[in-house]
């Protein structure tokens, strides 16, 4: 998309200066403190990361009862696990998992904005927020998935979930074959943010 | 009518994902400054005065910040939807946030264009800004918000529709902000699920949402949404919709 437009050479420097001025004024005016933004960012780095989602997926892969529960009542199932406090916190108030299975592939999008399950996946990657992805994934998900390397059998149903309401969605991808002897740590390495949104299959990170 | 309400299904846009699969941009932030505007937004969310009524009921009036307003996703989304649509496509995600958040703070009277301009100059000249006097209790409130959230769920729902019901999506005049994807307007779908409880939206959009109401998953056939432009193959489109956006079919 960027290639469609021309931008000033100091594009980033200007934004950086503007946001620094904004933060500085908010601090001076007593809205936030000098530590606020750093504390927010540190919280996301330590508490709300895709590591939580990976643990949920691996638990579902290794415990069939949990796999059923995490789809039926996602918050309750997640609460069973040893994850940081706050999995029902900001943008996790109403989590909903959907599970891929043979013949069914789920894809999460947010056509209106960028709704995202922060506590379990962290913050949304750029592709998810891209208006072009959002536009195309709604109408031609099979084509978009093929473009990013997910070639699905013709008879596999694609379920597209548009996060336009109050729930925040993520995917339990299918466990790759040939991983029966993998440890939990090895299995976690196969789970990517992309696979938990449906634009990739679980497998070694590319 | 706002282009931003009609992103889903919009055709003819340039390739989003690059030629090679690897060019999918997986980073969350692509410039360091983007982290700062993200942090500012989250801070405002955690200090928003609606949290006094959200669950858990935060003691928001006691938090020693000078911020005394509402600041929710609805406010940020409204600013993105208010943007000239060419700018919406021209600007990167966090550039839109920076523009929208700055305008919201100016509109609410927390700062002025002139202050921003002069502060920008001072910072470039390395003049140290005032350290401010907000106390750490402000940051504690923001972390509490991150940890506990602000569920919009309210009492027991009395849904008008049940799973299996056919519904036509309403075509109410568009307001400044909506949670109704444009591609669904006037289309017929089937209720797949009724969520438990009612759900508020913390900003009255003017197109029907705000007060607590049921929320549904409605299932659509691609042919219903896209007609002859639907992709071949088995696909089901699900949208999560507030009851105000659903009409019965008699």
pLDDT tens digits, residue range A146-161?
988 999 998 999 999 9
Are B129 and A24 within 8 A, CB to CB? yes
Distance of CA A173 to the CA centre of its chain: 12
- By the 10 Å C-beta count (0-12 exposed, 13-18 middle, 19+ buried), B19 is classed as exposed
Enumerate the residues of chain A whose CB falls inside 8 A of the CB of residue B241: 164-165
Q: Is A113 tagged catalytic?
A: yes
Dist CA A95 CA B140 (whole Å): 24
Give the one of A125, A138, A142 whose C-beta lies nearest to B27's C-beta. Answer: A125
In this structure, which topology does domain A49-188 adopt according to CATH?
Answer: Nitrile Hydratase; Chain A (3.90.330)
Which H or E run contains B113?
helix B113-124
Domains identified in chain B and CATH numbers: 3-151 (1.10.472.20), 154-248 (2.30.30.50)
Enumerate the residues of chain A whose CB falls inside 8 A of the CB of residue B191: none
Predicted local distance difference test score (pLDDT) of residue B157: 84
Q: Is A164 tagged catalytic?
A: no
E strands present in chain B: 153-154, 166-169, 188-194, 198-199, 215-220, 235-242, 246-248
Predicted local distance difference test score (pLDDT) of residue B29: 96
Predicted local distance difference test score (pLDDT) of residue A128: 95
Other Cβ atoms closer than 10 A to A40: 26
Interval A14-55: pLDDT, tens: 999 999 999 999 999 999 999 999 999 999 999 999 999 999
Predicted local distance difference test score (pLDDT) of residue B20: 42
CATH 3.90.330.10, chain A: domain bounds: 49-188
Are B195 and A167 within 8 A, CB to CB? yes
- Contact in structure between A124 and A91 (CB atoms under 8 Å): no
Indicate whether this model's pTM tops 0.90: yes
- The answer to whether ipTM exceeds 0.90 is yes
The pLDDT profile of chain B, 250 residues, written as one tens digit per residue, is 899 999 999 998 876 555 444 357 899 999 999 999 999 999 999 999 999 988 889 999 999 999 999 999 999 999 999 999 999 999 999 999 999 999 999 999 999 999 999 999 888 887 666 778 788 999 999 999 999 999 999 988 899 999 999 999 999 988 899 999 999 999 999 999 999 999 999 999 999 999 999 999 999 999 999 999 999 999 999 999 999 999 999 7
CB proximity under 8 Å: A 83-102 to B? 85-86, 88-94
Annotated catalytic residue: which of A114, A163, A177, A195? A114
A60 token code pair: 């579902």
Enumerate the residues of chain A whose CB falls inside 8 A of the CB of residue B36: 19-20, 23, 37
- pLDDT reading at A123 higher than 50: yes
Predicted local distance difference test score (pLDDT) of residue B16: 55
- By the 10 Å C-beta count (0-12 exposed, 13-18 middle, 19+ buried), B21 is classed as middle
Are A12 and B31 within 8 A, CB to CB? yes
Dist CA A167 CA A62 (whole Å): 26
- pLDDT reading at A195 higher than 60: yes
Predicted local distance difference test score (pLDDT) of residue B133: 79
- B90 vs A: CB within 8 A: yes
B110 token code pair: 């927390």
- A81 vs B: CB within 8 A: no
- Calculate how close chain A gets to B249, using CA atoms only, in Å: 22
Interval A58-115: pLDDT, tens: 999 999 999 999 999 999 999 999 999 999 999 999 999 999 999 999 999 999 999 9
B240 token code pair: 């999560």
Are A112 and B4 within 8 A, CB to CB? yes
């Amino acid at each position: 998309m960027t290639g469609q437009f021309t931008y000033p050479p100091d594009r980033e420097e200007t934004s950086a200066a503007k946001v620094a001025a904004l933060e500085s004024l908010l601090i001076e005016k007593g809205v936030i403190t000098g530590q606020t933004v750093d504390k927010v960012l540190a919280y996301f780095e330590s508490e709300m990361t895709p590591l939580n989602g990976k643990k949920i997926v691996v638990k579902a892969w290794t415990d069939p009862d949990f796999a059923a529960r995490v789809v039926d009542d996602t918050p309750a199932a997640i609460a069973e696990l040893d994850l940081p406090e706050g999995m029902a916190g900001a943008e996790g108030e109403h989590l909903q998992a959907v599970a891929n299975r043979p013949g069914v592939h789920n894809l999460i999008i947010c056509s209106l904005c960028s709704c995202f399950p922060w506590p379990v996946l962290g913050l949304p990657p750029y592709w998810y927020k891209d208006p072009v992805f959002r536009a195309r994934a709604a109408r031609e998900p099979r084509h978009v998935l093929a473009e990013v390397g997910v070639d699905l059998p013709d008879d596999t149903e694609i379920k597209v979930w548009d996060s336009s309401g109050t729930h925040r969605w993520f995917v339990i991808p299918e466990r790759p074959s040939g991983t029966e002897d993998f440890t939990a740590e090895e299995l976690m390495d196969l789970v990517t943010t992309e696979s938990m949104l449906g634009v990739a299959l679980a497998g070694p990170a590319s | 009518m706002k282009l931003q309400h009609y992103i889903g299904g919009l055709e003819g846009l340039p390739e989003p994902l690059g030629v090679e699969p690897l060019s999918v941009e997986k980073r969350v932030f692509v410039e360091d400054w983007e982290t700062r505007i993200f942090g500012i937004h989250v801070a405002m969310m955690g200090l928003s005065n609606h949290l006094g009524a959200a669950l858990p009921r935060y003691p928001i009036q006691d938090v020693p910040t000078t911020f005394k307003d509402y600041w929710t996703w609805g406010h940020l989304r409204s600013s993105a939807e208010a943007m000239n649509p060419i700018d919406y496509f021209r600007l990167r995600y966090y550039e839109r946030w920076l523009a929208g958040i700055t305008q919201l703070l100016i509109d609410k009277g927390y700062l002025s264009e002139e202050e921003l301009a002069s502060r920008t100059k001072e910072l470039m000249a390395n003049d140290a800004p005032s350290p401010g006097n907000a106390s750490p209790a402000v940051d504690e409130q923001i972390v509490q918000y991150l940890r506990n959230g602000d569920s919009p769920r309210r009492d027991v729902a009395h849904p008008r529709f049940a799973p299996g019901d056919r519904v036509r999506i309403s075509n109410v005049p568009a307001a400044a902000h909506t949670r109704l994807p444009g591609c669904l307007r006037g289309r017929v779908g089937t209720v797949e699920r009724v969520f438990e409880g009612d759900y508020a939206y913390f900003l009255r959009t003017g197109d029907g949402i705000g007060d607590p109401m049921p929320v549904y998953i409605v299932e659509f056939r691609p042919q219903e949404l896209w007609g002859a432009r639907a992709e071949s193959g088995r696909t089901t489109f699900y949208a999560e919709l507030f009851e105000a956006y659903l009409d019965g079919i008699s």
